[in-house]
Structure 1
Amino acid sequence: MSTEPEGTEEAPEQEADGAGGGEAGTAESAGGGAGNSVSEEPGADAGEGGDAAGTDAEGAEKARLSEAEAELAAQRIERERIARRKAEKQGPVASGAKLSGKAADLLAAVRAVESGEKPVAAVFSEPEAPRRPAQEPVRPRPVPVEAPGVGGSVGVPAPEAVETVRSVLAEGGAPENLAAQVAAALGEGADDRLRADPWQLLRVTGVRPEQADGFARALLGAQCAPDDERRGRAVTVWLLEQAALAGHTVLEMPALVAALVQRGVPDADAAVQSTIAEAEALVFQDALDPAAPEPAEDDEEGAERPVRILVGLERYALAEESLADGLARLTNSVPKEDGSAEDWERAAASAEGSAAELIRAAAAEGLVLHTGGEASLTEPAALLVAARGLGLRSWAATHSPLGRDRFGALLATDDSARQVTTVAGLLSGAEGPGRDADGAFDLDLLVVLDAPQLDVETAALLVESLPDGARLVLGGDPAVLWSAGPGRVFADLLGARICPQVASRKPDPGPLGELVSGIGIGELNQVEAPGKEVVIVPVRDAGEAVHRTVQLVADSVPRAIGVPAEETQVITPGHGGAAGTRVLNAALKERLNPGPGRFGGFDPGDRVVHSPAPGRTLPGQVVKADADGLHLMCSGEPVVVPKERVEQSVRHGWALTAHQAVGGRWPAAVVVLPGDAAQALSRPWVYTAFGRAERHLSVVHGAEQALPRAVAEIPAKPRTTRLPVLLGAQTPTPG
């Protein structure tokens, strides 16, 4: 059975192998961009890289955590934290047992509402308990390199466990190459668990319900039935996982029940209740209007506050609650007094425009939001320089290594240039200031850039890791694509208005800045581009789109614009299809770095992207391959990908999706819009893709009127989250 997930890039890449969704192209330039076409005559191949000599530093590398190992360590810390919080919850639910306490009351309320016995408002008449405004965080402890379990074997199942699972898969007719993934997903006794409940196969990424059904029929025979309670629970959890891939932290009960019916679950309501009773999901009731006052005791029943019933996976629910508590701690506490008020005011007075506002806000508040485009990065840079001048231990964190290097360049004349890290590196301890004895970051001010890319789990871990009295500034462009993981943290915070918000008044310059700024407000304007900053290349079909893209990257842009092929990034809506990343990368490799692909399809000099964890993309280049795996150079750092992980986590990188490219910028970008990309296009997608270019943007355009329609009419797809309600329980701060 094929286990590659389907869909387009709107459900962002959760693994390097990615969600498919290809797009091809047909013809005609429609409204946007100006200008003169780049010269298209054939040119010589612009090879990218050649054979890069690898430095053998294995001994040194073993003394420090690798990227993947550090990521696994951070994930283990997060799981331990969630387990501690779960143990604190009142009325624990044993597997297979009935709910008790408030959880049982809530489940009974859900059943009463769905059966029509009582209206929604009546069954939730009990006032909600007030939220604690500033709970002491459960911070992760520092993880030493030599700690047990932190090593190459982390998360790797034992060979004997894989073999026992392989035999069960073979018996059920499932692909045996899933054995390692099943063993890792189900843990100890995976073979017995799989035999007792074949639908546990849905725990493996990429497996779909119909495939798990076939596996169950082969194992259970006549005992396999659509109304099997095990199937209902497994499909419910699978749907919640799919919702998380699409960005939701919870689903509304009616939407979940309808999706279960579509998947052939006869009693969808019973399936949800069984999943909740087995503690595989949590149920919530949230007020539809959090600002509405609680009804008085003598009010009529019909006047009670309406609520909505939500169901979600525990990990995301607890992350949102933890994040809300941590944000309350920041907003309700007084920042550490580093520097006098006069010193902060002098620093602000020496800055310009919005930078001065940002410095004043950070001086007075524990949490500040900053919005703006690429040009606005100079403002958090000014804040970091000012804070370091006042003696604060100040750090910045970005979404990607490209963003880290770009922001560090703004601080090149100051020691602060060395105080920039990636969010993943900061959390894992591979980069940044490290943690103190209490498990908190050893810093006073943290500026997180690319904040729209924070999912709820990452944001919760960041906030919980801040020491008391620290300041947090979250900055980013709210118009770009949201996080690959579930949640819309930055947008929810902007809407909640619980802290000061500083909007940059510094526009991005030039024709590219004018074009992208217009897209941000829903207008695809034609701009003057005397220096060929923006070029539209019409195409009739997918084959022509691929041909023109290769011609642009290898010949026209280097010759006419002066940007070499290795500094030009191709961006397309999806991985699959006649003009997706797979086809484009194959064509670009053939032109720029031809070779037999001896190392799992890769050759030295190939441009690649490595995804050590879902939602993370590290651009790099292949150096060599040996018994240890595929050797890459990513942002100046050597990375070794074990050979069993290469197929899952490494792709060619001449062409990326917009989600993979977010957080990075290149001197030139070629955005490919094939004809069948119309359904994948939206205003945030176009804004993000077009905004990756610094000097030159070529648009290989076959989407006809779908492009201006997407910019004008298709905003970001909504995501269902609980964070606005949780934040609404806090006291708003004006400004």
Structure 2
Amino acid sequence: MSTEPETTGDAEPGTPTGGAGTEGDAPGAGQVSEAEAELRAQQAERERIEQRKAEKQGPIESGGKLSGKAADLLAAVRAVESGEKPAAAVFTEPEPGPRRSAPEPAVRRPQPVAAETVAASAAPAPEAVRAVRALLGEGGAPETLAPQVAAVLGEDADDQLRADPWQLLRIAGVRPEQADGFARTLLGAGCGPDDDRRGRAVTVWLLEQAALAGHTALELPALVTALAQRGVPDPDRAVQDTIAEGEALVFQDALEESGAAPARAEEEGAEDEERPVRVLVGLERYALAEESLADGLARLANSAPKQDGPTEEWERAAASAQGSAGELIRAVAAHGLVLHTGSEASLAEPAALLHAARSLGLRAWAAAYAPIGRNRFAALLGRSGGPEVSPTAHSPVATVAGLLSGLEGPGRDADGALDLDLLVVLDAPQLDVETAALLAESLPDGARLVLAGDPGVLWSVGPGRVFADLLAVRICPQIASRRPDPGPLGELVSGIGVGELNQVEAPGREVVIVPVRDAGEAVHRTVQLVVDSVPRAIGVPAEQTQVITPGHGGAAGTRALNAALKERLNPGPGRFGGFDPGDRVVHSPVPGRVLPGRVVKADAEGLHLSCEGEAVLVPRERVEQSVRHGWALTAHQAVGSRWPAVVVVLPGDAAQALSRPWVYTAFGRADRHLSVVHGVEQALPKAVAEVPAKPRTTRLPVLLAPQMGG
């Protein structure tokens, strides 16, 4: 059976999508690799979330009155959490065992996990892999899944899988119909669509698919409908069983009412009047991360920042800055949490803030989403500031991943907090709830956090819409930059941001439209542009030109374009897993992040890459799943980076994948030149004018309201 995941557009679970991080030198004695450091940070966050779970007392807080199935569901969950036996009308299965409690936390902040522990847990035992491989073969599933299954399920993975074959759905890329076939082979006549194990597994799988689409939870009616579409005979019971087993959490959130009626009711003392609520079901890791994020942001927003300099000095620094840069400095002087919005040109304002803060003696750092963004901002600091900040290894700029893993940045203090006074996070729209939660919880009391970014770009690859939610709830000062991006490219992208695809004057051929009839012609013209036209007419060499296309598959997706570009730019036999020295690649050290680079060489140890000047070793066994060719990327993979020239490929079959944020992001990756290989006709202006970002279901605004006194 095939395990190719179901995806459309940018997202392709289990492959490099979105994000970028940073790699240190190849791991050796006493060193911690990028993947291990990332796993360490994630494990620390998981442990902190477990501690938070153990601290919770009592049932889930109610936001209003419920009736019918929703009321039964909430009552059942509360009964399970309190250890009582659920009502027979709700559950027909025996009472589940009590949930295990995490130990009481010794300190509030996450503590580092030993690299040896992470390294040991990252690779499953060979005997466990062999046992799983035998069971997969017995059930007709691809034996190549064995390492993943053993890593996800643990040492007794074969026993777990034999007891519940639908646990195979926990492996990225496996679909319900594939797990059904595996279960039928193992269970024979005892396998049926009404099996409770199947109902729970499909429920969790649907919540995982929702997370891949950006949701932190699903509304109960939507989840029940999706379960019915997947052939679950009793969707309500499947949800109840999943919650009872602790594999998901249920929430009810009060909805805001419009008009003056609620205020009048409160004045008249009508406290018992029902308020509309929505019932949500979510995976524990995302639900608790969102709660942790709300706590951390509220702590920063409600706390007075440390007095790191006389008010007059802050005001003097603000007065010396220009326009909205001065407004940003004043806001940061008085508040622990500040939002800053703007496009590429607006980066000059966080740079001015960083200079001002460091001149006042603050330990100020910036963190970018991608290594290219980090290096560009470091260079900007070097051009605009004093000698204490320059585009070198000593500049106060890191990637978010490097900062959290400890491979970059100031490190952590004795309490586990980041050793800084001010953190400016660039590309903030790319923060998912888990990364944002770890950042917020990692800041010491009295520190200042600035989240800066362009609200028009694609949201994070991971679940949540943190930056957009914060802009909507308005819990802190928001400074909007008044610096427009210059030139024809700036004019074009600014228009797209407000829903207008304008024709712009481009006397220097800054914008070129190349019409094509079909996908084959799109690939041909793209290769021609990268290899010949752009270097000759614009002066940008092929290695500085990035191709961006809507998806991985299809006749003009990243796979087809990368194959065509490799054939022209670096032909070779693919001596190591399809790669040759000189190949342009993207490396995904952990799912959801990509790191652009080039192949240097390959040997018995693995594939040696150079990623933004840093040496990276990808072990032989990790190459197939974590490295892809990178001449062509999706917009999600390209976000957070910019190149001198960009070729955006829009074949006819890409029309359904287009939206205003996608076009805004793709077109906005170009510094000097943009070529658009255009085969979607009127679908492009229609997408810009009429197709906004896909909505995401999140709880952050509701969670922030009571903490901010709202």
Superposition TM-score, scaled by structure 1 size: 0.87
CA 1:13–1:351: 2 relative to 1, 3 Å = farther
Whether the aligned pair in 1 keeps the contact of 2:14 and 2:173 (CA below 8 Å) is: no
User: Does residue 695 of structure 2 align to residue 728 of structure 1?
Assistant: no
Partner of 1:43: none
Partner of 1:30: none
Partner of 2:633: 656
Partner of 2:3: 3
CA distance in 1, matches of 2:195, 2:413: 51
SS in 2 for 1:525: coil
CA shift for structure 1 position 387: 0.2
Partner of 2:217: 250
Whether the aligned pair in 2 keeps the contact of 1:499 and 1:732 (CA below 8 Å) is: no
User: Does residue 373 of structure 2 align to residue 403 of structure 1?
Assistant: yes
Select 1:685's aligned residue among 662, 665, 688. 662
Partner of 2:83: none
CA shift for structure 1 position 547: 0.3
Aligned residues between the structures: 666
Partner of 2:287: 317
Which piece of structure 1 moves more, 163-172 or 197-206?
163-172
Write the mapping of 1:357-396 to structure 2, written as runs, cut at 5 A.
357-396=327-366
CA distance in 2, matches of 1:431, 1:404: 11
SS in 1 for 2:411: coil
What amino acid does structure 1 have at the position aligned with 2:366?
Answer: A
User: Does residue 512 of structure 2 align to residue 545 of structure 1?
Assistant: no
Whether the aligned pair in 2 keeps the contact of 1:572 and 1:671 (CA below 8 Å) is: yes
Partner of 1:16: 15
Whether the aligned pair in 2 keeps the contact of 1:397 and 1:448 (CA below 8 Å) is: yes
Gaps of 5+ in 1: 20-55, 92-101, 119-134
Partner of 2:100: none
CA shift for structure 1 position 113: 3.8
Partner of 1:279: 246
Once the two structures are superposed, what CA deviation does each residue of 1:261-294 show, in whole Å capped at 9, x if it has no partner? 0000000000000001111000000011178569
Partner of 1:149: 117
Write the mapping of 1:152-551 to structure 2, written as runs, cut at 5 A.
153-289=120-256, 303-412=273-382, 413-414=385-386, 415-417=388-390, 418-551=395-528
SS in 1 for 2:577: coil
CA distance in 1, matches of 2:121, 2:408: 20
Once the two structures are superposed, what CA deviation does each residue of 1:216-241 show, in whole Å capped at 9, x if it has no partner? 00011111010110000000000000
CA distance in 1, matches of 2:675, 2:648: 6
CA distance in 1, matches of 2:585, 2:220: 42
CA shift for structure 1 position 204: 0.1
Partner of 1:132: none
CA shift for structure 1 position 450: 0.2
What amino acid does structure 2 have at the position aligned with 1:547?
Answer: H
What amino acid does structure 2 have at the position aligned with 1:256?
Answer: L
User: Does residue 558 of structure 2 align to residue 581 of structure 1?
Assistant: yes
What amino acid does structure 1 have at the position aligned with 2:619?
Answer: P
Whether the aligned pair in 2 keeps the contact of 1:553 and 1:565 (CA below 8 Å) is: yes
CA distance in 1, matches of 2:558, 2:73: 50
What amino acid does structure 2 have at the position aligned with 1:400?
Answer: A
Whether the aligned pair in 1 keeps the contact of 2:583 and 2:599 (CA below 8 Å) is: yes
CA distance in 1, matches of 2:509, 2:472: 39
Once the two structures are superposed, what CA deviation does each residue of 1:546-598 show, in whole Å capped at 9, x if it has no partner? 00000000000000000000000000000000000000000000000000001
CA distance in 2, matches of 1:502, 1:117: 41
CA 1:346–1:17: 2 relative to 1, 3 Å = closer
Partner of 1:31: none
Whether the aligned pair in 1 keeps the contact of 2:432 and 2:462 (CA below 8 Å) is: yes
Write the mapping of 1:639-650 to structure 2, written as runs, cut at 5 A.
639-650=616-627
CA distance in 2, matches of 1:344, 1:318: 37
CA 1:207–1:162: 2 relative to 1, 3 Å = same
Whether the aligned pair in 1 keeps the contact of 2:16 and 2:591 (CA below 8 Å) is: no
CA shift for structure 1 position 661: 0.2
Select 1:68's aligned residue among 30, 35, 58. 35
CA distance in 2, matches of 1:137, 1:526: 58
CA shift for structure 1 position 644: 1.2
CA distance in 1, matches of 2:67, 2:150: 35
Whether the aligned pair in 2 keeps the contact of 1:72 and 1:154 (CA below 8 Å) is: no
CA shift for structure 1 position 532: 0.1
SS in 2 for 1:729: helix
CA 1:294–1:226: 2 relative to 1, 3 Å = farther
Partner of 2:48: 81
Once the two structures are superposed, what CA deviation does each residue of 1:173-202 show, in whole Å capped at 9, x if it has no partner? 100000011111111311110000000000
What amino acid does structure 1 have at the position aligned with 2:459?
Answer: W
CA distance in 1, matches of 2:376, 2:206: 39
CA shift for structure 1 position 67: 1.0
CA distance in 2, matches of 1:720, 1:537: 38
Select 1:632's aligned residue among 592, 609, 613. 609
Gaps of 5+ in 2: 19-23, 76-104
CA shift for structure 1 position 105: 9.4
CA shift for structure 1 position 154: 3.9
Once the two structures are superposed, what CA deviation does each residue of 1:663-709 show, in whole Å capped at 9, x if it has no partner? 00000000000000011000000000000000000000000110000
Partner of 1:610: 587
Whether the aligned pair in 1 keeps the contact of 2:44 and 2:112 (CA below 8 Å) is: no
SS in 1 for 2:450: strand
SS in 1 for 2:5: coil
Partner of 2:88: none
Whether the aligned pair in 2 keeps the contact of 1:13 and 1:484 (CA below 8 Å) is: no
| More RCO (CA 8 Å, sep 6+) | 1
SS in 1 for 2:117: coil
What amino acid does structure 2 have at the position aligned with 1:639?
Answer: V
Whether the aligned pair in 1 keeps the contact of 2:41 and 2:112 (CA below 8 Å) is: no
CA 1:297–1:216: 2 relative to 1, 3 Å = farther
Which piece of structure 1 moves more, 530-539 or 1-10?
1-10
Whether the aligned pair in 1 keeps the contact of 2:176 and 2:202 (CA below 8 Å) is: yes
SS in 2 for 1:536: strand
SS in 1 for 2:536: helix
Whether the aligned pair in 2 keeps the contact of 1:573 and 1:658 (CA below 8 Å) is: yes
Whether the aligned pair in 2 keeps the contact of 1:498 and 1:732 (CA below 8 Å) is: no
Whether the aligned pair in 1 keeps the contact of 2:249 and 2:283 (CA below 8 Å) is: yes
- The ranges of structure 1 where at least 4 consecutive aligned residues each deviate by more than 2 angstroms after the TM superposition are 12-19, 60-64, 102-118, 135-138, 290-303, 413-417, 730-733
CA shift for structure 1 position 141: 1.5
CA RMSD of aligned residues (A): 2.4
Whether the aligned pair in 2 keeps the contact of 1:70 and 1:429 (CA below 8 Å) is: yes
Identity of aligned residues (%): 76
SS in 1 for 2:122: coil
Once the two structures are superposed, what CA deviation does each residue of 1:482-502 show, in whole Å capped at 9, x if it has no partner? 000000000000000000000
SS in 1 for 2:532: helix
CA 1:114–1:709: 2 relative to 1, 3 Å = farther
CA distance in 1, matches of 2:360, 2:297: 25
CA 1:554–1:201: 2 relative to 1, 3 Å = same
CA 1:262–1:674: 2 relative to 1, 3 Å = same
